[in-house]
């Protein structure tokens, strides 16, 4: 089931939470809404669910205008960060709940619940109560309970937000696995760039209520449309002038900022036509990678990230004179919003 968001806006008092958003979520895809806190992701999710009504625009699910339909008629399953399971019910009873309300036959409920417990890898825990489960297991029950009634669309609002890093990683893998099996159109809110990249078929990057870019994780990482998007996706050097890092014949004008990923800064010990002189200021060892801070000839600082092997090859020392050149860089005109902070 596809979801079409057409020019949707939502204001709370004088605050524009969602600002003229257009987004096409294709059937069967897992799409992440990614952005900093307060950028409007959850509000858009609530608008899709029917928990809020937009001020302007249309929301179509499978082609049907659902903008003013109530929550129940939208066929949507919702999982929140703190999903309240029924504490007095076992796992099995929790998963069965929606089916029993819909008066499904006892036989169907029994079969379906076991199938779902299998799907979320909780077979054998059906008789436990929520208090006897870990946080990750509870979110799996929440997913099974939501999927039990075959929603047309699954909406997840930071579902792993309250869990520790290791459990989050495990649950990401199981959500991806589950999505491949169930193939329900899924919209996932997160502020974690790595989570979005690992899970999503497509990412919509939010900033101040607007969508800055939509694309596959590779697309967005390799071809960020704006400085905001580039700086949101991992560390980046922002240089105020191109002259410091490009050789002087380079065509980049000084009316632009240069955005350069640390792993795209190449260091060498010998002079070369396109490399510019720099000095090693600081060396930080981080296990398999080494971060080197350099000062360029015009005083600008730039951070390079290299593998330990490459570092050992170069045998860099503090205050050493070296040569650097960008493997790849992006320039954005002066005057646009530079980063998300």
Q: Establish if 306 lies at the interface with ligand ATP (CB under 6 A).
A: no
Q: Establish if 35 lies at the interface with ligand ATP (CB under 6 A).
A: yes
Query: Which alpha helices (DSSP H) does the chain contain, by range?
Result: 41-49, 91-101, 106-119, 135-147, 165-182, 193-199, 217-222, 227-232, 308-314
Q: Establish if 70 lies at the interface with ligand ATP (CB under 6 A).
A: no
Q: Establish if 50 lies at the interface with ligand ATP (CB under 6 A).
A: no
Closest CB to ligand ATP among residues 37, 105: 37
Could you list the beta-strand ranges (E) of the chain: 3-12, 15-25, 30-34, 56-61, 64-65, 76-79, 153-157, 185-190, 202-207, 210-215, 237-239, 256-260, 265-268, 276-286, 289-296, 301-307, 321-326, 330-333
Residue found under tokens 């929603």? 151
Q: Establish if 168 lies at the interface with ligand ATP (CB under 6 A).
A: no
In whole angstroms, the minimum distance from the beta carbon of 33 to ligand ATP comes to 8
Q: Establish if 17 lies at the interface with ligand ATP (CB under 6 A).
A: yes
Q: What are phi and psi of 143, to 5 degrees?
A: -65, -45
Query: Which one among 14, 37, 105, 251 touches ligand ATP, defined by CB under 6 A?
Result: 37
Token readout for 9 is 């806006």
Query: Which one among 28, 38, 57, 215 touches ligand ATP, defined by CB under 6 A?
Result: 38
Q: Establish if 43 lies at the interface with ligand ATP (CB under 6 A).
A: yes
* Segment lying near ligand ATP (by CB under 6 A), choices 9-17, 137-145, 165-173, 180-188: 9-17
In whole angstroms, the minimum distance from the beta carbon of 94 to ligand ATP comes to 26
The alpha carbon of residue 11 and the mean position of all alpha carbons in its chain are separated, in whole angstroms, by 24
Which residues contact ligand ATP by CB under 6 A? 12, 15, 17, 35, 37-43, 189, 191
């Amino acid at each position: 089931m596809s979801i079409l968001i057409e020019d949707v806006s939502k204001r709370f008092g004088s605050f524009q939470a969602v600002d003229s958003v257009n987004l096409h979520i294709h059937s069967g895809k897992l799409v992440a809404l990614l952005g900093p806190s307060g950028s409007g992701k959850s509000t858009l999710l609530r608008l899709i669910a029917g928990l809020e009504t937009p001020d302007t625009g249309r929301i179509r699910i499978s082609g049907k205008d659902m903008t003013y339909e109530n929550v129940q008629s939208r066929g949507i399953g919702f999982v929140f960060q703190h999903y309240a399971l029924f504490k007095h019910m076992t796992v099995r009873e929790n998963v069965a709940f929606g089916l029993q309300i819909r008066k499904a036959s006892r036989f169907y409920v029994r079969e379906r619940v076991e199938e779902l417990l299998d799907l979320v890898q909780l077979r054998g825990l059906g008789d436990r109560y929520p208090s006897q489960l870990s946080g990750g297991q509870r979110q799996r029950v929440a997913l099974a309970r939501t999927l039990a009634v075959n929603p047309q669309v699954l909406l997840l609002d930071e579902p792993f937000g309250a869990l520790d890093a290791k459990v989050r990683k495990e649950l990401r893998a199981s959500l991806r696995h589950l999505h491949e099996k169930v193939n329900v159109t899924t919209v996932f809110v997160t502020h974690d760039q790595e989570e979005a990249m690992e899970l999503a078929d497509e990412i919509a990057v939010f900033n101040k209520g607007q969508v800055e870019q939509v694309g596959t994780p590779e697309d967005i990482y390799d071809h960020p449309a704006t400085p905001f998007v580039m700086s949101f996706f991992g560390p980046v050097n922002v240089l105020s002038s191109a002259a410091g890092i490009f050789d002087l014949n380079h065509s980049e004008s000084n009316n632009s900022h240069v955005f350069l990923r640390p792993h795209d800064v190449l260091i060498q010990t010998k002079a070369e036509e396109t490399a510019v002189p720099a000095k090693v200021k600081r060396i930080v060892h981080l296990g398999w990678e080494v971060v080197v801070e350099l000062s360029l000839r015009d005083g600008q600082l730039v951070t390079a990230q290299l593998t330990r092997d490459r570092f050992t090859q170069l045998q860099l020392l503090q205050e050493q004179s070296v040569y650097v050149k960008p493997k790849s860089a992006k320039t954005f005109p002066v005057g646009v919003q530079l980063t998300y902070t």
